[in-house]
Amino acid sequence: MRRIGAALAAALALVATACGTEPEATPRAAAPAPTTTTTPTTTTPPTAVPGPGGTTVPVFQHPYPYGTARAKPPASPDGLVPVVRRIETDQPHVFITIDDGAVRHPAALELMRSANVRPSLFLNTKHVQEDPAYFKALQDRASAQVHAHTANHPNLQGKPYEFQKQEICGNADYLQQHVGARPRLFRPPFGNYDANTRRAATDCGFTALVMWTAAVNDGVVQFQAGGKLNAGDVVLMHFRQTFVEDFLAFLERCKRDGLTPVPLEDYLSAPRP
């Protein structure tokens, strides 16, 4: 009690001193009133918020309750995992996927949270094992979902089945053990795959092999066809030094094209509606 009292007295003395040493008010009476931070009374959510390095982060509202299935899982034509390049939908939805995990940018978590966007992460064991907590935080605190991208990022095409299975299942096992949930989606490195890749991915328990229809590099969104993003596009970017520029370029492009990024899992791996 005495110590608290002493601390309080010291704090008050400090405040008094600070006030006492303040310069006299200048005769300029028209000084603006001090600005105070108040909670907005409006219920309209912001469309943008300040981001890292003086940037502006576009904010997206969830168009439906995330975590609910929007479609049946894609059909398998031959009993093996289907290959998905884009999502068939009449809704203005797009999907952001972020690969590898080579550079763990410190602003990534806050950017995802600020934008209110939940990316899908296709991660390699060799990168995640350098700092599993970084990726677990993206999953737990930004609701990003972690998926498989092989252990060591080899070109799978033409490799023996056993080699591919080890790369794919081993990666899924590692992510399940060190990040959390069992990955449901798989993306082959470089987008290269063959029949053995689909067999191995099937045997490892995946629901889809995911490709992409647009990419972000050096802060520029690149389209495979046309000059804009379209509903159902799957966009690829990477964990790089340019994470902020790349992620913001994607978000701004979505706003411009009237699209909302939603979780890929809701279209590909959620339980059937």
Phi and psi torsions of 89, nearest 5°: -155, 150
Q: Residue 106, class by beta-carbon neighbours within 10 Å (0-12 exposed, 13-18 middle, 19+ buried)?
A: exposed
**Given the rule CB under 5 A, which of 59-67, 87-95, 185-193, 197-205 is the region that contacts Zn ion?**
185-193
DSSP 8-state assignment for residue 208: E
We find the least distance from the C-beta atom of residue 99 to Zn ion, in angstroms, to be 4
Rounded Cα distance between 208 and 197, Å, is 12
Q: How many CB atoms lie within 10 A of CB 159?
A: 18
| 167 belongs to the binding site for Zn ion (CB under 5 A) | no
Amino acid at 138: L
We find the least distance from the C-beta atom of residue 14 to Zn ion, in angstroms, to be 55
Rounded Cα distance between 196 and 180, Å, is 27
Total residues at the site for Zn ion (CB under 5 A)? Answer: 3
**Given the rule CB under 5 A, which of 16-24, 31-39, 71-79, 99-107 is the region that contacts Zn ion?**
99-107
We find the least distance from the C-beta atom of residue 150 to Zn ion, in angstroms, to be 8
| 265 belongs to the binding site for Zn ion (CB under 5 A) | no
| 100 belongs to the binding site for Zn ion (CB under 5 A) | yes
Reduced to 3 states (helix: H, G, I; strand: E, B; else coil), residue 91 is coil
Rounded Cα distance between 81 and 88, Å, is 17
Rounded Cα distance between 220 and 235, Å, is 12
Residue nearest to Zn ion (CB): 99
**Given the rule CB under 5 A, which of 97-105, 134-142, 167-175, 215-223 is the region that contacts Zn ion?**
97-105
Looking from the CA of 18 toward its CB, the CA atoms found within 13 Å total 6
We find the least distance from the C-beta atom of residue 38 to Zn ion, in angstroms, to be 46
**Given the rule CB under 5 A, which of 63-71, 72-80, 87-95, 184-192 is the region that contacts Zn ion?**
184-192
Closer of 100 and 167 to Zn ion (Cβ): 100
Among positions 70, 99, 249, 264, the unique one binding Zn ion when judged by CB under 5 A: 99
Q: Which residues bind Zn ion (CB under 5 A)?
A: 99-100, 189
